[in-house]
Amino acid sequence: MSKGSRIASEMSSVDPNHVVFFDTTLRDGEQSPGCSMTTQEKLTMAHALEELGVDIIEAGFAMASEGDFAAISTITQAIRKPRIASLARAKTEDIEMAARAVQFADRSRIHVFLASSDLHLEWKLKISRSEALDRTAESVRLARSLVDDVEFSPEDATRSDRGYLVEMVRVAIEAGATTINMPDTVGYMTPEEYGQMFREVRERVPAIDAEGVVLSSHCHDDLGLAAANSLAAISAGARQVECTINGIGERAGNAALEEIAAALYVRADCYGGATCSIKLDQLYPTSQVLGQIITFKPSPNKAIVGANAFAHESGIHQHGMLANPLCYEIMTPALVGVSHTHLVLGKHSGRAALRHRLEQLGYTLSREELQQTYYRFVAMADRKKSIYDQDLIGILPDQIRERRNEPVSELD
């Protein structure tokens, strides 16, 4: 078995259905405005990612700053389970700096990237296609001489000429790349297109399967399709997915790790039994760690980890939830580390939710008493956006308050 095949086999845990989670919260995620982290904060986040079960942590861009280099080096000495990677441009100084940054890691990776689209080659790099191919070969060979595991990304792959993209991928593999990442750098593609790109490149570069090269996706959310595109890539044979906690990242962000991991579990029937090492019950705790480190938490309506992800206000929904949670929840809150479902009392709530909450607070009402209290509740809810327990108790008739029972449970 070649060294590249051995590493590919290790990364897939010898299971062809295993999807490697490559977390770039500390690199691409940190590039988002308001998400800058100190070395200590990065280390705290790295420990949370290790506990979550990610396979690879892209700890930073070593050449970007002294702080990034220090953070990567610190993480390599403290984190042992995940592989630690540093990003590097296709430049000698970048690659050598990345190698020094990850030198203390038990398992290291250098992630080299170079633009492949004509738009980037002409306007950003001002080099020809042939020059880019030469740089690809030289940079990957150099990186491979310094570490066993080299990932290569043709930047802006999704807007690249397909024939040229295939050629660049072939050159990178011949030079020693063990993982090929084809990023949707600007969030341009649809799931159908992105999946087809992976199938086509795989068919046109036989070395991918022959050498056991891992194909990777890296999607941005400019059209709100990052997670969907990542899942489409997995369906098309990608066995590494690059993502961030809470979907933070450049512009509209990266594919959200929690969304992809949850989708693979809940819809395993759609992804050929794909497996991963992510501990689902650590998704919410890890999201909370990140929210405490950076300047903002996920939007309340964020899938999986948002404050409203398991909250219900509609009376119809609340009644269904009380009868059977499966009516309106496709996964349990506990699955992703959330303590409980939250039935929010507001103007859309019904009698069932009101009765349920009052019983939790220790008040059992007859049908007539509930009806009377519900009218008061609706009137109050029309005036207030937030209803608190003391508000509920305040609208109860005196005779009900006097016969309070022991609360059933305190969930809020």
Kindly state the average pLDDT of the residues 21-47.
Answer: 97
Q: Which pLDDT tens digit goes with each residue over 81-96?
A: 999 999 999 999 999 9
- The first and second tokens of residue 354, run together, are 């009101």
What is the percent of the chain with per-residue pLDDT over 70, rounded to a whole number? 95
* Res 306 pLDDT > 90: yes
> At residue 253, what is the residue type?
G
d(Cα 25, Cα 254) in Å, to the nearest integer?
A: 9
The answer, yes or no, to whether residue 65 has pLDDT greater than 80, is yes
Angle at 66 between CA 60 and CA 69, to 5 degrees: 35
Q: Kind of pairing, strands 83-89 and 179-184?
A: unpaired
Count how many Cα atoms sit within 13 Å of the Cα of residue 127 in the half-sphere of its side chain. 14
Q: Which of 70, 102, 104, 76 is nearest to 87 (CA)?
A: 102
> Contact, 143 vs 88, CB < 8 A?
yes
**Using one digit for the tens of pLDDT, what is the confidence trace for 203-224?**
999 999 999 999 999 999 999 9
What dihedral angle (degrees, nearest 10) is formed by the CA atoms of 69, 74, 80, 86?
Answer: -10
Decide if 189 contacts 229 (C-beta within 8 A): yes
pLDDT digits (tens, 9 = 90+) for 126-144: 999 999 999 999 999 999 9
Q: What is the pLDDT of residues 107-120, one digit of tens each?
A: 999 999 999 999 99
Q: What CATH homologous superfamily does 3-293 map to?
A: Aldolase class I (3.20.20.70)
pLDDT band at 412 (very low <50, low <70, confident <90, very high): very low
pLDDT of residue 376 exceeding 50, the answer is yes
Mean pLDDT of 37-46: 98
Report which of 267, 348, 209, 278 is spatially closest to residue 55, judged by C-alpha positions. 278
Residues of the chain with CATH 3.20.20.70: 3-293
Q: CA 57 to CA 79: how far, in whole Å?
A: 10
Residue 407 has pLDDT above 70, yes or no: no
Averaged pLDDT score across all residues of the chain: 92
- Residue 12, pLDDT > 60, answer no
> What's the CA gap between 16 and 164, in Å, rounded?
28
| Cα–Cα distance measured from residue 57 to residue 50, given in angstroms and rounded to the nearest whole number | 8
Identify the pLDDT of residue 410: 45
Q: Which residue has the tokens 């689209």?
A: 117
* Residue 107 tokens, joined: 């398992």
Say yes or no to pLDDT of 311 above 70: yes
157 versus 313: the higher-pLDDT residue is: 157
* For range 359-379, the mean pLDDT: 91
pLDDT average, residue stretch 215-237 = 98
